[in-house]
Copies of this chain bind each other. A is one copy, B any other.
Amino acid sequence: MGVNETVAKPLDRLAALLAHDMGAVDALIRTRMESRHAPRIPEVTAHLVGAGGKRLRPLLTIAAARLLGYEGTHHQLLAATVEFIHTATLLHDDVVDESRQRRGRPTANLLWDNKSSVLVGDYLFARSFQLMTETGNMRVMSILSNASAVIAEGEVLQLTAAQDLRTTEEIYLQVVRGKTAALFSAATEVGGVIAGGTDAQVQALYDYGDALGIAFQIVDDILDYSGTTETIGKNTGDDFRERKLTLPVIKAVAKADAEERAFWQRTIEKGDQQEGDLERAMAILGHHGAIDAARADALAWAARGRSALEALPEGEIRALLTELADFVVARVA
């Protein structure tokens, strides 16, 4: 593309390095999202899959398999599986969160309706299981169906933990592992499994994906209180309005004085939010260093991800995955 590769983002360089595989994954995604009978399905799917998607998760699967020298094509099926599970989850999340924007565009539930988002999500889930079945590999099927269960469980847990000021960092981590890290770690793990990696290699890939996913989500949660709509592709303050107990808020609640506690109870527990409350919340987070503390956690997870990679073969892919761990937290570093 003529881009100076030394300054291009690690994700783009990884995608360029694995362009042949990613092209095949793209073709698979496009073919499998078709429906002979219901044109609504590819319409809705294309809205999400088509534009703005960074294909981060399928790229992780491809990179993990190639890092271990895999020469087959089953990693492409698994990468498409992972992207379908991700897309299905996004469709259902936006219904659950009543979101209006994703990646800077109106959500499918807004453009079509909640019904279409629920059913097309179900279709993509089913398609993802069809795809993974085609690998004939029991272990990857088990990993990916487990990950799907953990994802749904994490979402339900978030639903019941939302608005509850007693939510601890431990519960937060469980929610994050469910809603984000489970698919990251499954993506890297199945890449290793399909490549026939050793137990230690597969574990290292799992650990990398897990740490990367957690770092990624913490950064997302930080940006929701400190980013701009342009940089995050959704509205700042969404988590606050949805009364989610994210890491910065959990840290601030732990240090709250009586007046601040009353503020969190009113805005998060009771959901009685007024003009200026988001700004007040941001000020409290800043005052207690909650954003800085969350940032430190994100950086620590990124470091864990990097060190997990040390158990894996050296080379360009490993170097780029290492850079990727830093890149994920660079938005808040």
Question: Could you list which residues of chain A lie within 8 angstroms of chain B, going by C-beta atoms?
Answer: 35, 37-41, 88-89, 92, 95-96, 114-116, 118-123, 125-127, 129-130, 133, 136, 138, 141-142, 145-146, 148-149, 151-157, 159-160, 174, 178
> Are A155 and B40 in touch, CB under 8 angstroms?
no
Residue among B96, B121, B142, B157 making CB contact with A115, cutoff 8 Å:
B96
Measured between C-beta atoms, what is the minimum distance from A92 to chain B in Å? 5
Measured between C-beta atoms, what is the minimum distance from A97 to chain B in Å? 8
Rounded to whole angstroms, the CA-CA distance of A92 and B35 in the bound complex is 20
> Are B145 and A126 in touch, CB under 8 angstroms?
yes
The residue on B at minimum CB distance from A174 is B37
Measured between C-beta atoms, what is the minimum distance from A60 to chain B in Å? 20
> Are A142 and B130 in touch, CB under 8 angstroms?
yes
> Are A114 and B95 in touch, CB under 8 angstroms?
yes
> Are B122 and A95 in touch, CB under 8 angstroms?
no
The residue on B at minimum CB distance from A175 is B37
Residue among B114, B121, B129 making CB contact with A114, cutoff 8 Å:
B114
Query: Could you list 27 A-B pairs, sorted by A, with CB under 8 Å?
Result: A35-B153, A37-B153, A37-B174, A37-B178, A38-B157, A38-B160, A40-B159, A89-B122, A92-B118, A95-B114, A96-B119, A116-B156, A116-B159, A119-B152, A119-B159, A120-B156, A122-B125, A122-B151, A126-B149, A126-B151, A127-B149, A129-B141, A130-B142, A130-B146, A133-B141, A133-B145, A136-B138
Contacts of A174 in B (CB 8 A): 37
- The residue among A96, A148, A156 with the most chain B CB atoms within 10 A of its own CB is A156
- The residue among A35, A154, A159, A160 with the most chain B CB atoms within 10 A of its own CB is A159
Contacts of A114 in B (CB 8 A): 95-96, 114
Contacts of A118 in B (CB 8 A): 92, 95-96, 118
Contacts of A157 in B (CB 8 A): 37-38
> Are B96 and A153 in touch, CB under 8 angstroms?
no
Contacts of A145 in B (CB 8 A): 126, 129-130, 133
Contacts of A40 in B (CB 8 A): 156, 159-160
Measured between C-beta atoms, what is the minimum distance from A40 to chain B in Å? 5
Measured between C-beta atoms, what is the minimum distance from A22 to chain B in Å? 24
Rounded to whole angstroms, the CA-CA distance of A21 and B151 in the bound complex is 31
Measured between C-beta atoms, what is the minimum distance from A82 to chain B in Å? 14
> Are B115 and A38 in touch, CB under 8 angstroms?
no
Residue among B41, B125, B152, B154 making CB contact with A156, cutoff 8 Å:
B41
The residue on B at minimum CB distance from A130 is B145
Measured between C-beta atoms, what is the minimum distance from A107 to chain B in Å? 14
Contacts of A129 in B (CB 8 A): 129, 141, 145, 148
Contacts of A38 in B (CB 8 A): 153, 156-157, 160
- For the complex with contacts A37-B178, A123-B153, A130-B145, 14 further pairs of A-B residues with Cβ separation under 8 Å are A35-B153, A38-B157, A40-B159, A41-B156, A89-B122, A96-B118, A123-B149, A123-B152, A123-B156, A125-B148, A129-B129, A129-B145, A133-B142, A141-B141
Rounded to whole angstroms, the CA-CA distance of A95 and B119 in the bound complex is 10
The 10 A-B pairs at the shortest CB distance, nearest first, are namely A126-B148, A123-B152, A126-B149, A129-B145, A122-B152, A38-B156, A96-B115, A38-B157, A130-B145, A119-B155
